[in-house]
Every structure is written in C-alpha cells, then in structure tokens.
C-alpha cells in the first residue's frame, strides 16, 4: 500500500443532499442554538455546546445517549467561508480528560436545484475501523439534520 492509498483508506467522504438553502445548512453548523437541535447520531441529545465561531475559535459539545453515557468532542475552526465551507478539527475527550487523536473535518456546501449538496471530508483517522465508526455517526447525524431542516 502506498502512502497516498493508506491516507485515502483512513479518510471519510460523505455526500448528502438537503432540501434547504446552503445558508440555512451553514447556520445549522455555526449557530449553537441550532446545532444542539440536531447534533449527534439518532437517539442522542446535545445538552452542552460552546462555540466561538471564528477562525482560530474553539468549539466543544457533549452528546448523551439514552443510557446517560456522555461523549465530548472539541476542536478549533481553521477556515470559515460562509455559506460555502467550514473547516474544523475534531478530537474526542478521553476518560483521563485529554483529547484523543485529532482529525480535520471539511464541510463544503453547494447549491442545487432542490437545496444543498453537502460534502464532508474527515481526515486522517488512525485506522479504517475508526473511520467506519465515524461514517455511521455522521450518517445518522445527517438524518437528524435533515429532520431539523424540514
């Protein structure tokens, strides 16, 4: 396996269509009062969210499942190009309070005849199994986003 093939195997790409204008989809990612209404996989709640939406600003969210288990993730915004793109880092908090492996998430939005095409690229995961777990999480989260935007 070449280095490029290895990186590609540890990169997540998801494309999803939403029936809302890209400005509305962008705001769903950047306005905390909107993000908490859809963020996280189906069946999760997002009771804690802090966002300093500016390049170099940080964000942190905690998601809680129906068993009361808490999952905290945070990062830093590295690029904001409203309403077309946002780029931020992503790292899960570990049990010892440190942040785990950090990836970079790029969310690109393109207007379509019926709404918005969102493309998410998250890279580089430690391995393809972790990438696959995130694919399931993002896919479920986007189901929640679709319901929120409806």
Please indicate, yes or no, whether the overall pTM of this predicted structure exceeds 0.85: yes
Q: Which two tokens stand for residue 75?
A: 């990062």
The pLDDT, as a whole number, for residue 94 is 87
More confident residue, 8 or 35: 35
The pLDDT, as a whole number, for residue 1 is 62
Residue written as token pair 């993000």: 35
What span, in angstroms and rounded, lies between the C-alpha atoms of 150 and 146?
6
Checking if the pLDDT of 4 tops 70, the result is no
Mean local confidence (pLDDT), 113-141: 96
What stretches of 31-127 show up as alpha helix (H) in DSSP? Answer: 32-35
Report all structural domains of the chain as residue ranges with CATH numbers, in order of start. 9-149 (3.30.530.20)
Checking if the pLDDT of 82 tops 70, the result is yes
**In angstroms, how far is the first alpha carbon of the chain from the final one?**
43
What span, in angstroms and rounded, lies between the C-alpha atoms of 34 and 31?
5
- Confidence at 96, pLDDT banded by 50, 70, 90: confident
The pLDDT, as a whole number, for residue 48 is 96
Checking if the pLDDT of 108 tops 80, the result is yes
């Amino acid at each position: 396996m070449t280095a490029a093939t290895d990186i590609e195997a540890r990169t997540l790409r998801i494309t999803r269509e939403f029936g809302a204008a890209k400005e509305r989809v962008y705001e769903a990612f950047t306005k905390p009062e909107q993000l908490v209404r859809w963020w996280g996989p189906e069946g999760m709640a997002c009771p804690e969210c802090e966002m300093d939406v500016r390049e170099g600003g940080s964000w942190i969210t905690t998601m809680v499942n129906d068993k009361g288990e808490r999952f905290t993730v945070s990062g830093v915004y590295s690029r904001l190009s409203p309403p077309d793109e946002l780029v931020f880092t992503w790292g899960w908090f570990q049990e010892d309070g440190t942040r785990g492996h950090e990836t970079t998430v790029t969310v690109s939005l393109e207007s379509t005849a019926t709404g918005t095409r969102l493309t998410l690229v998250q890279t580089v995961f430690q391995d393809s199994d972790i990438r696959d777990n995130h694919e399931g999480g993002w896919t479920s989260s986007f189901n929640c986003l679709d319901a929120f935007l409806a």
